[in-house]
Amino acid sequence: MRVSFLLIATIVLLFEQVVGHDKKVVCYYGSWATYRPGNGNCEVEKIDPTYCTHAIYTFVGINEDATIRIIDPYADLPDNYGKDGFGKFNALKKINPNLKTLIAIGGWNEGSTKFSHVMNNPELRAQFVKNSVDFVLKYGFDGFDFDWEYPNQRGGIEEDKEAYIATIKELHEAFKPHGLLLSSAVAAAKSSASLSYLIPKMSPHLDIINLMAYDLNGGWNNYVGINAPLYPREDESEEIRGNLNVEACIKYWMDNGVDPKKVVLGMPLYGRSFRLVNKDNYKPGAPASGKGIGGPYSGEPGMVGLNEILEISNNGWTHYWEPEGMVPYMVKDYDWIGYENELSIALKTQFAMEKGLGGVMIWSLETDDLTGFSGQKFVFLKTINNILNGGSLPSTTSTPKPTTSTADPSISTTDPSIGTTGPTLAPGNICTKPGFVRDPDDCSVFYMCEESSDGSYTQYRFECSDGLYFNEDTEVCDYAENVQC
């Protein structure tokens, strides 16, 4: 049942509670946040595991010979004075003995091609299963998160759909004697999920199905849209209404036979940003010219963490509530961000409970409020647990304070999707239209072009991390082999 915004405004503030319920709270952690500067830095030691039932460390990769690849040995291992991310992550169980830790393989940057190659070959697939068991046991995790993005897409083939089922079946059987968990991160929207999954066959072989019910809108649109609207808007097309909102995603999966008790509803702790075509036309659905600003710490155009939004949101931004989708957005001149606040997170959590789901998931820990900028650390995880513990919806949300970013432009991240140094004003005449453009002489450098009212451009220079190039098709820093340079 939808709750009116006026009714919500009369309900008392949330209580601060830790896990005391029987639902899952699955918390992903992007290990590259260990390299982020200033308030965006999130070493494993900064994580408060008392608000999670399951924590997932991301990512390791897959090789064509079915071996598992550690992508960042310095961050993950103790060797050669490394940060020992694996060890410290599993040590969080000393703080929360009920916590289950998992290691995730895959993710967006790993793509589909190598997964498809391995999983469609029975011998390689069997070797992958053995390697997975050995890897999880060696490093002390409680389970494995299988994040193939996505079968039958992004270089995959039709046979991937059956190969995916065969893989999770064999993994589940191999994990069972060791008491290990198997989860999988899956596309939520019908437009993608229908291409990749044989949904009725999945539930018996997975302990948790992490439904990624976000990225339903983003800089790939030619209009502004909120990352994860809970419900559709009346003015949207029938196709969008039936596909690109959380309600539609859950309906599609449940209608296709998933076990709801194994599904956890994924929620984004980040917003999606756009550049408006007309700053006076800013309501959801208004024309956009592409991706907008990135956050001061994460540095990815088109994406801003909620921790970053807390810091910038009083600096000239006007905030709005979209009453149909039950989500907030904010506007400043030509910049537009659709995001989440405590109220929208609470409503999504409540929705998951109403649908009888197994719990909720966040992507990801490092963009919750790490420093207490809102008045309390990990405010969004606390909001989730408050609702799961039977607490009331928040009547208000934290009022962020104006701030000056502490991001250090000399420090870079290492995940390809966010691997940039901070922006600096750039001289010259690179820009001819709003948006992003790669440097004609250096593929690791790109510019964000911001049009002024007089038709001139301000251009901001970004530089990808070492070994990464700016991909003009996806507009993110990417591995060199994926980029035409």
CATH class, domain 14-388, is alpha beta
Amino acid 427: pLDDT = 59
CA Rg value for the chain: 22
Q: Is 408 exposed, middle or buried (0-12, 13-18, 19+ CB in 10 A)?
A: middle
| Chain center to CA of 151 | 19
- DSSP letter assigned to residue 295: P
Instruction: Tell me the DSSP string of 69-133.
Output: E-S-HHHH--GGG---HHHHHHHGGGT-TT-EEEEEEE-GGG-SHHHHHHHTSHHHHHHHHHHHH
pLDDT at 203: 97
The one-digit pLDDT tens for each residue of the chain (485 residues) are: 333 333 333 222 333 345 678 999 999 999 999 999 999 999 999 999 999 999 999 999 999 999 999 999 999 999 999 999 999 999 999 999 999 999 999 999 999 999 999 999 999 999 999 999 999 999 999 999 999 999 999 999 999 999 999 999 999 999 999 999 999 999 999 999 999 999 999 999 999 999 999 999 999 999 999 999 999 999 999 999 999 999 999 999 999 999 999 999 999 999 999 999 999 999 999 999 999 999 999 999 999 999 999 999 889 999 999 999 999 999 999 999 999 999 999 999 999 999 999 999 999 999 999 999 999 999 999 999 999 999 988 865 543 333 333 333 322 333 333 334 444 445 567 888 877 788 888 898 887 776 666 777 777 677 765 667 888 876 667 777 778 88
pTM: 0.81
Instruction: Name the segment(s) of the chain with CATH classification 2.170.140.
Output: 423-482
Q: Mention every residue, 6+ apart, whose C-beta is less than 8 A from residue 185.
A: 104, 106, 145, 146, 147, 149, 210, 212, 266
Nearest-CA neighbor of 368 among 16, 39, 34?
39
Catalytic (active-site) positions = 149
Tokens at residue 248, please? 């539609």
Cα–Cα distance measured from residue 61 to residue 68, given in angstroms and rounded to the nearest whole number: 6
pLDDT for the residue numbered 132: 98
Query: Residue 15 and residue 377: Cα distance in Å, rounded?
Result: 14
CATH 3.20.20.80 domain span(s) along the chain: 14-388
Answer whether CATH 2.170.140 is correct for domain 423-482: yes
- Whole-number Å distance between alpha carbons of 290 and 222: 7
